[in-house]
Structure 1
C-alpha cells in the first residue's frame, strides 16, 4: 500500500506527542540514550540488508561502479550547493523566528516560561522542522511512493516517536500540529514518486534502493555518534545514481 509509511509515521508522532504531554520529563536521559543507540544499530542493519542489489553475481560489479560514481558526483553537487549547511541554517532561522528571548525554542526553560500561544507555535515549528527536514523523510517517501519499501519510514517513525515525547514534554500540544506538516510534505513526496514510477525500470529501482540503503547506513553512524556523515549533501545521489543506471542500461543492456 503506497503511503503506508506516512500513515505509520503520523500515528507514532500522535501517540508519542500524547505521551509526552502527559509524561513530561519522567523518561531518564540514560534510557533515551540507550533507546537511540538501539535504533542506531537497527538502522545500520537495515542499511546493510538494503545493499543486496550489489551482491548480484551478474550485475553487482556494474552496480557498484555506478553507485561509487553517483555518490561522488552527488557529494560534489551537494557540497557545491551547501545543502547540509542550508538545511541546518533553515532550522536555526525558523527557531529564531518564533523565539521570544535569546534562549530560543530549543531552550526548555524558555519554552516553559513562554505564553501558551508562543509555546504552541514554537512546538509546531520545531517539530515540523525536525520531523520533515531530515534525509529519511525524502528517502523514505521516495521508496514508499515507488513501492520499494517502507523500511526507511519505519525507522523514521520510531525515531520521531521518541522525539515527539521529548518535544511534547516541553512545548505541549504544538507538537501535534506538526501532523499537518508531515501529511502534506511527506505525503506529497510519496505521491510525486508514485507518479514517476512508470518511468522506472527494475534496474533503476535496484540502484535507487542501493544508494538509499547506503545513505541509511550513514544515518545509523550518526545516530551512534560514530561519524557525522553529511547525509543531506549526499542526497543528490538519489537522482544521479538512477540517472546513470538508466543511461548505462539504455546503452549496453
Structure 2
C-alpha cells in the first residue's frame, strides 16, 4: 500500500491525542524521559540507515554541497519564519484549539524526517522511517494534547495530505528510472537520510543544534551525482 506509512503516521497522531485527553496530568519529568527515549530510537534507526551507503564519499559530497545550498537559500530560516507566521496568524489569544492545531502541525510537518520517509515510501515501498516518525509523533501528541487540547488531533490530516503528496510524486518519478539505478539510489538516499535523522535525534536530545533542514538539498545533489555517474561513467 503506497500511503501506508503516511496513514499509520496519521492514525498514531489521532491515537496519541485521545490518550493525551485521558492523561492530562503528565509531569515535565515524564515528558523529558519519554522524549529522550524516542531520541534514542531515532538515533539507532539513523545509524542503521547510514550504514547502507556503498560510497560514503558521494554521501559526504552530497550532504556538504546540499548544506551549502540550504544555507544560501536559508531553508531553515524560511521554515522558522513560516512557523512563526502561522502561529501568530492562527494561534493568537486564548484559542486553545487553534494553538494546538497549528503548533502540532508545525512540529509534525516542518522537518526533514517526513520528507525523507515519504520519498522512501514512494520510491521503494519502505515505510520504516515513517513508522518511526509515527511513534515519535504519537508520543508527542500525547504531551501536546495534555497541554494544548483537542486541536492537536486535527493536525493529523495535514500530515497525511503533505506526506502522501510527496509519496505519490516520488512513485511517479521512479517509473522513469532503470532498476539498477533505482536500487543504488535507494541505498544512498537511505544513507544520507540516516545522517539527517541522526542530527534530528541529537537535536531532540539537546546535545546539538544542527540546522537539519538546510541539508535537504543534499538529496537532490545526491540524485544528480548518481544519475550522471550511471549514464556517463
Whether TM exceeds 0.5 here: the answer is yes
Give the number of the structure whose alpha-carbon radius of gyration is greater: 1
Cα separation, partners in 2 of 1:234 and 1:23, compared to 1, 3 Å: same
Match of 2:7 in 1: 7
Match of 1:78 in 2: 70
Alpha-carbon distance in 1 for matches of 2:34, 2:145: 18
5+ long unaligned stretches in structure 2: none
Select 1:132's aligned residue among 109, 112, 122.
109
Structure 1 residue ranges (4+ consecutive) displaced by more than 6 angstroms after TM superposition = none
| TM-score between the two structures when normalised by the length of structure 1 | 0.85
Report matched runs for 1:1-253 at 5 Å. 1-24=1-24, 26-54=25-53, 60=54, 63-101=55-93, 114=94, 118-147=95-124, 149-200=126-177, 201=181, 202-252=183-233
Cα separation, partners in 2 of 1:86 and 1:45, compared to 1, 3 Å: same
Aligned residue pairs, count: 229
3-state secondary structure, aligned to 1:53? coil
**Does the CA-based 8 Å contact 1:53-1:206 persist in structure 2?**
yes
**Does the CA-based 8 Å contact 1:148-1:209 persist in structure 2?**
no
Segment of structure 1 superposing worse, 90-99 or 67-76: 90-99
Segment of structure 1 superposing worse, 143-152 or 214-223: 143-152
Instruction: Render the CA deviation track for 1:46-92: whole Å, top value 9, x for unaligned.
Output: 111112333xxxxx3xx222111111110011000100111111111
Alpha-carbon distance in 2 for matches of 1:174, 1:156: 20
Cα separation, partners in 2 of 1:148 and 1:223, compared to 1, 3 Å: farther
5+ long unaligned stretches in structure 1: 55-59, 102-113
Q: CA RMSD in A?
A: 1.6
Shift of 1:217: 1.2
